[in-house]
Amino acid sequence: PPSVVLPYCFPNLVSGCLDMPSFTNYAVGFVETLDYVLASEPSDEEPFGFQTSRSAQMPTEDEIKRYVAMPNECMPSDHVSVVCDLKWKTNDHALDFFYSLSRNEEDS
């Protein structure tokens, strides 16, 4: 996949898929990964984020080749659905973050 450089203030992103799919679009003459689920993970700057807990199995290339390409009679789209479960995650500094917010409200 292409490399993307994001600004420093942007949160660190992780894939929602445990294993990056080799393709999410399968058409005659074009097979690529075009669809992604991205989630931010906790960091020193952002105490809250997500962690991938599981992701749905993707079809294999052999399964698609049986029907030549997508869409077909079993797959109504030319894109594979990317499905994953994310868990809410906090870092060790999350309680400090809440404490500082409550202190700021008391001082106001």
User: pLDDT tens digits, residue range 65-91?
Assistant: 999 999 999 999 999 999 999 999 988
Predicted local confidence at residue 30, as pLDDT = 94
Which H or E run contains 64? helix 61-65
Give 29's DSSP letter. T
Task: Say if residue 92's pLDDT is above 80.
Answer: no
Q: What is the 3-state secondary structure (H, E, C) of 68-97?
A: CCCCCCCCCCCECCCCEEEEEEECCCHHHH
Predicted local confidence at residue 6, as pLDDT = 81
Contact 55, 18 (CB under 8 A): yes
Angle at 6 between CA 39 and CA 91, to 5 degrees: 45
Q: Output phi, psi for 80, to 5 deg.
A: -80, 140
Give per-residue pLDDT as tens, 10-65: 888 889 999 989 999 999 999 999 999 999 988 877 888 999 999 999 999 999 99
**Residue 1: which pLDDT band, with cuts at 50, 70 and 90?**
low
Task: Say if residue 3's pLDDT is above 90.
Answer: no
Q: Output phi, psi for 69, to 5 deg.
A: -160, -170
